[in-house]
Every structure is written in C-alpha cells, then in structure tokens.
Amino acid sequence: STLDRGRRAFERRAHRETRVSYFRFPVFTHRIVMFASGATRATRAASRTYATAASGLNKKTLIEAVASETGESKALVGRVLTATLDAVSASVQKGDKVALSGFGTFSRKNRAARAGRNPQTGAALKIPAANYPSFSASSVFKALVKGK
C-alpha cells in the first residue's frame, strides 16, 4: 500500500543518512541512535538544529538566544530581526552607511572596472565595475573578540 511504500522509503533514507553521518561526519554520530530507534520527524529536525548550533550561530539560533534572553516570543524576535536586517540591507543598497555603536559599520564600496584574462585561453577580457558590501568592526568589538 501507499503507507507501506512511504514507511520503506523513510527507513531507506534513515539508513542512508545514518551511514553517511557515521562515516563522513563523526561529529553527528548521535543520529545513529535516533534512527536505529525509529525516530520521528520532530526528532530528526531537532538533530539538524543541534548540528547547526554546534557549528556556530545562524539566524534560527540567534532568534532563540535573543528570545530566551529577553523573554519575548521567538515569532516576535524573528520579525524584529528580519525587519532590522531588511532595513540595514536597504540602506547599504542605497549607498548609505549603517553604523551600530559598539559593533561596526556596514557600507557599500565600489570596485573599478579593470582588464583581466581568461585563465583557460589567456584571452583578454573586461571586468565591469561592481558594488560590494563592506563591514568594518568597531574598536569595542575588535577588543571583545581579542579577549581584552
């Protein structure tokens, strides 16, 4: 039946992910136990969250950290963070500088047009001018990262 096919597909996927996790990514070996015990989708999603949280801070873990620090809901913090990032992006896109005291300054810089070469053929080509985002950390943030 369709239910049996879906269950078999899930078991094949779980087995394949378990092998890959064990042999290529030994950090994630905790997933083996979950798949062997017939983990649910929620448990698999939790393992993905744990894996990304172990490798650094992403948007989701930042939202969780701010929500737990402030006591606000994750939904509200997510909306505020998204609005903040949108405002910073829009300002930098227009060419304005965005300075966050104690953190750093976001700005847009220009790269002039230049001549280049195709590495395969050696033919000369023109590389057009481009705008790119830039971030300059404040002295307070640099000192914090250095541990001073």
Tell me the pLDDT tens digit for each residue of 111-125: 999 999 999 999 999
The region of weakest confidence among 15-24, 67-76, 139-148 is 15-24
- Residues in Cβ contact with 62 at an 8 Å cutoff, skipping those fewer than 6 apart: 81
Q: What is the value of pTM for the model shown?
A: 0.58
User: How far is Cα 55 from Cα 20, in angstroms, rounded to an integer?
Assistant: 18
CA nearest neighbour of 75 among 67, 87, 83: 67
- Which amino acid is it at 2? T
Q: In the structure encoding, which two tokens stand for residue 59, read together? A: 């948007």
Q: How confident is the model at residue 51 (pLDDT cuts 50, 70, 90)?
A: very low
* Vertex 63 angle, CA 49 and 82, to 5°: 120
CA nearest neighbour of 40 among 64, 7, 5, 16: 7
